[in-house]
Structure 1
Amino acid sequence: MMNYKTEAIKGEDLMLKYKVLQPEPGVVKLGLILLLHGVGSNEEDLFRFAESFPKGFVIVSARAPYTLAPGKYAWFELNYSAGKPIINPE
């Protein structure tokens, strides 16, 4: 059985929610695969593919910090006032 975990991490000013799939005990760790969802999605979106990767990888799926709506996030600030999405460069 796979070992799933959901946590939050702290940086200087940033907290991200994420899900982790660790290799089972005794399996050699091969490296890290970081999954980053697209605009309007969340950490669950790509995490459903976690078990598709070769055993031995640590799989992390992070939630973007900008909330667009409940359950919908982005990695950068978007402005929709012009009728199309514009990325805030700051």
Structure 2
Amino acid sequence: MRHADLPERWKTKIREYLIAKGETRYHTFGASDFPSDSVVRIRFEDGSTVDFKHAFVLKVPEWHEVAVFKQHCGCHLFHLHDELDLVIGRDASTSSA
């Protein structure tokens, strides 16, 4: 989903995140917020998985939600529960040998 389509609570959470990082000019993310070597993998209770490269995550346990943000593919919201396995790592294909 595009930033404009996010629920207002998430727009507020993004502003809080950016302010905590010291960013006060913008209300959305910039290119430097998306690590080029990151991989976020979500494993669901049925065993299926999804990988997001060049992404980062914001978890909001009190809402039981996790958001995966991609620079060009928008935001993906997921229900956060005990069976959701969230792994944040590095993309081995981008590391130099």
* TM-score of the alignment, normalized to the shorter chain, above 0.5: no
The structure with more strand, counted as a fraction of residues: 1
Larger radius of gyration: 1
Q: TM-score, normalised by structure 1?
A: 0.23
The structure with more helix, counted as a fraction of residues: 2
